């Protein structure tokens, strides 16, 4: 390890603040979903009731898992089509001071699929493609509702464990509405105000023109005397992009841009926001099942996987890129600073890279394509763990609980007992559904990458040859297939092939993971509760946490090691070969 005391202190501070926020926020969210009164009930209750009345929703009517699934799909399909239409009609809509032009059908489809699935993969530059109206009414709104859909499905899943011989798992519209009104909206409002205090832009004014003190040469070899500076209503989008584990940037370089992330404090708070709700939902889960030890056990398992990979990534970047030193004699005493902002440095960049890929976030404050081979492999591997190491709001935790069911099943086979979790027997139907939820992202990732490297259109998008080019393609489909949204910057993804293929991968992974989870919730809710006995496997102990971590890592590593060997691992050995040649 080549990390300094200051490096370790930054990592320790990040996790200390994160864990301090877990219980109060997790308890608050649990009370919201259980219908208890909170300090916002009297202030925001009128809005909740008004929305139900306006939309004709009976808040007391509950749904079985099939009906719940239908409502999830209908709502998501509607928002997908609405966002697609909005993007295609951008030139005819208001708040377009920069005169942004038409968005092509394939890019509009890709963007609509991306923001509907909480992926927020961006094949465009925000400040050069999207109007203020598209950013606010289209993308920011979708950031709220796509995150709320994931949280609603999680709450329905939790009710499957809580209820006994029940036919219903809740009301989708109520769960989603409460997620937005009482959790995402208040947090985002406070966070946006804090960000504007740090210098994040929030304005409807047109782009600013600055006259240069000395003319420079443009790409067309003509002198340029005026620079256009993009501005806009960014802070309101940045707040929910982080808190909702969305990740879509207002500007092309995301949170590496000084107008999105100008100071050390804004950087820390944006990093904290990435994991804030996913971590707190673990406590929400424990409170709602009346055994907080279970929630803490899952949170510890997530951290046990994240922390070593974060430290490994930081260590690799702190060590620098020996090829740069060999070729250009570049001073790398501060580590590998290629693709990183000097105001953040190596370790804050590595913390962000690990957190954003552990969660289904995808925002960046540095360019992952510029990391060292093994430093870049860490966030890539984090994505490939199916976004269950914290993961997206809601979907990360229900994905990890699916792994818990698989772990309990394996443990039951080992000792010859019927697997049980939280008093519910885990039988063949639950394991079949869990297997689908686990395998779908793997198929979308590896299948999509295989098609890309076998077709001329797929290979044409990679700017770099050999192992690095393969890593860029693999990263893109890993990001889409696991609904992350970050990217290796060396891939030209704004082509009909990639816009279509990645859009399909995002939709496939999002909903073919959600539907099996809701099926499991319905099956569990219908079962009786089995009393705990001497033969029941404790699922809150260090032994179970170790077993759970082993299952997650084993599935991820065995699935992706062959592909990683062709990408970042091969590139690492190529680098060593050139050093000694």
Residues 275-322 have pLDDT tens digits of 999 999 999 999 999 999 999 999 999 999 999 999 999 999 998 877
Q: Does a structural domain hold residue 221? A: no
Cα 469 to chain centroid distance, Å, stands at 24
CA dist 354 and 14 (Å) reads 12
Q: Does a structural domain hold residue 415? A: yes
pLDDT, position 576:
77
Q: Does an H or E element contain 228, and which?
A: strand 223-229
The more confident residue out of 557 and 497 is: 497
> In the structure, what pLDDT confidence band is assigned to residue 413 with cuts at 50, 70 and 90?
confident
| Span 420-450, pLDDT tens digits | 999 999 999 999 999 999 999 999 999 999 9
The more confident residue out of 330 and 32 is: 32
CA dist 320 and 283 (Å) reads 38
pLDDT, position 442:
93
> In the structure, what pLDDT confidence band is assigned to residue 1 with cuts at 50, 70 and 90?
low
* pTM as predicted: 0.95
List, in order, residues 6 or more apart from 323 with CB less than 8 Å away: 575, 578, 579
> In the structure, what pLDDT confidence band is assigned to residue 214 with cuts at 50, 70 and 90?
confident
Q: Does a structural domain hold residue 185? A: yes
Residue 563 has pLDDT above 70, yes or no: yes
Q: Does a structural domain hold residue 68? A: yes
Q: Does a structural domain hold residue 219? A: no
> In the structure, what pLDDT confidence band is assigned to residue 153 with cuts at 50, 70 and 90?
very high
**What residues make up the domain containing 553?**
5-210+228-579
pLDDT, position 47:
94
What is the per-residue DSSP string for 35-69?
T---TTHHHHHHHHHHHHHHHT--TT--B-HHHHH
Q: Does a structural domain hold residue 215? A: no
Q: How many domains does the chain have?
A: 1
CA dist 163 and 522 (Å) reads 10
Q: Quickly tell me which residue has 């023109």 as its tokens.
A: 209
pLDDT, position 154:
97
Question: Please, where are the H alpha helices in 224-358?
Answer: 235-243, 264-288, 292-318, 322-328, 345-358
Q: Does a structural domain hold residue 394? A: yes
Residue 326 has pLDDT above 70, yes or no: no
The more confident residue out of 404 and 218 is: 404
What is the per-residue DSSP string for 158-226?
HHHHH-SS-S--B-HHHHHHHIIIIIIHHHHHHHHHHHHHTT--B--SPPEEEEEEEEEE-TTSSEEEE
CB neighbours (10 Å) of residue 465? 9
Q: Does a structural domain hold residue 222? A: no
Residue 327 has pLDDT above 90, yes or no: no
Q: Taking residues 105-117, report their average pLDDT.
A: 97
CA dist 252 and 302 (Å) reads 30
């Amino acid at each position: 390890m080549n990390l300094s005391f200051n490096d370790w202190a930054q990592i320790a501070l990040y996790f200390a603040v994160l864990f301090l926020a877990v219980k109060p926020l997790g308890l608050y969210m649990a009370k919201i979903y259980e219908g208890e009164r909170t300090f916002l009930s009297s202030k925001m209750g009128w809005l909740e009731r008004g929305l139900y009345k306006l939309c004709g929703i009976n808040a007391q009517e509950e749904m079985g898992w099939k009906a719940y699934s239908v409502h999830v799909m209908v709502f998501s399909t509607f928002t997908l089509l609405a966002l697609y239409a909005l993007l295609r009609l951008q030139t005819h809509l208001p708040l377009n001071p920069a005169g942004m032009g038409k968005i092509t059908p394939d890019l509009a489809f890709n963007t609509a699929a991306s923001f509907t699935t909480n992926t927020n993969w961006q094949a465009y530059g925000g400040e050069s493609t999207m109007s203020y109206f598209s950013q606010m009414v289209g993308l920011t709104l979708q950031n709220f509702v796509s995150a709320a859909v994931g949280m609603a499905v999680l709450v329905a899943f939790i009710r499957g464990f809580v209820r006994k011989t029940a036919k219903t798992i809740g009301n989708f519209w109520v769960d989603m509405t409460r997620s937005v009104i009482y959790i995402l909206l208040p947090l985002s409002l406070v966070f946006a105000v804090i960000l504007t205090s740090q210098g994040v832009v929030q304005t409807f004014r047109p782009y600013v023109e600055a006259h240069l003190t000395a003319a420079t040469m443009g790409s067309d070899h003509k002198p340029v005397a005026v620079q256009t500076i993009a501005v806009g209503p960014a802070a309101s989008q940045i707040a929910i992009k982080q808190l909702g584990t969305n990740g879509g940037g207002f500007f092309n370089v995301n949170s590496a841009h000084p107008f999105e992330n100008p100071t050390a404090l804004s950087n820390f708070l944006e990093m904290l926001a990435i994991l804030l709700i996913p971590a707190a939902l673990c406590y929400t889960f424990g409170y709602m099942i009346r055994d907080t030890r279970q929630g803490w056990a899952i949170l510890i398992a997530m951290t046990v996987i994240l922390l070593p990979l974060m430290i490994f990534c930081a260590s690799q970047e702190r060590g620098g890129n020996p090829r740069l030193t060999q070729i250009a004699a570049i001073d790398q005493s501060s580590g590998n600073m290629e693709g990183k902002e000097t105001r953040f440095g190596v370790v804050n960049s590595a913390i962000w890279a690990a957190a954003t890929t552990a969660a289904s976030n995808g925002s960046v404050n540095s360019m992952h394509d510029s990391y060292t081979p093994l430093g870049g492999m860490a966030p890539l591997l984090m994505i490939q763990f199916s976004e269950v190491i914290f993961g997206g709001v809601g979907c990360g935790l229900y994905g990890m609980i699916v792994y818990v069911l698989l772990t309990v099943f394996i443990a039951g086979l080992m000792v010859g007992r019927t697997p049980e979790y939280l008093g519910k027997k885990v039988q063949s139907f639950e394991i079949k559904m869990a297997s689908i939820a686990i395998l779908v992202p793997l198929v979308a990732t590896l299948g999509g990458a295989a098609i890309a490297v076998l077709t001329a259109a797929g290979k044409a998008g990679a700017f770099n040859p050999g192992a690095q080019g393969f890593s860029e393609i693999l990263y893109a489909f890993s990001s889409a297939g696991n609904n992350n949204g970050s990217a290796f910057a060396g891939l030209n993804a704004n082509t009909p092939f990639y816009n279509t293929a990645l859009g399909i991968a995002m939709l496939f992974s999002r909903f073919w993971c959600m539907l099996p989870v809701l099926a499991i919730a319905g099956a569990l809710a219908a079962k009786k509760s089995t009393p705990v006995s001497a033969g029941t496997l404790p699922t809150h102990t260090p032994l179970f946490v170790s077993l759970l971590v082993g299952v997650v890592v084993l599935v991820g590593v065995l699935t992706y090691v062959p592909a990683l060997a062709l990408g970042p691992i091969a590139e690492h050995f190529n680098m060593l070969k050139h050093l000694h040649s």
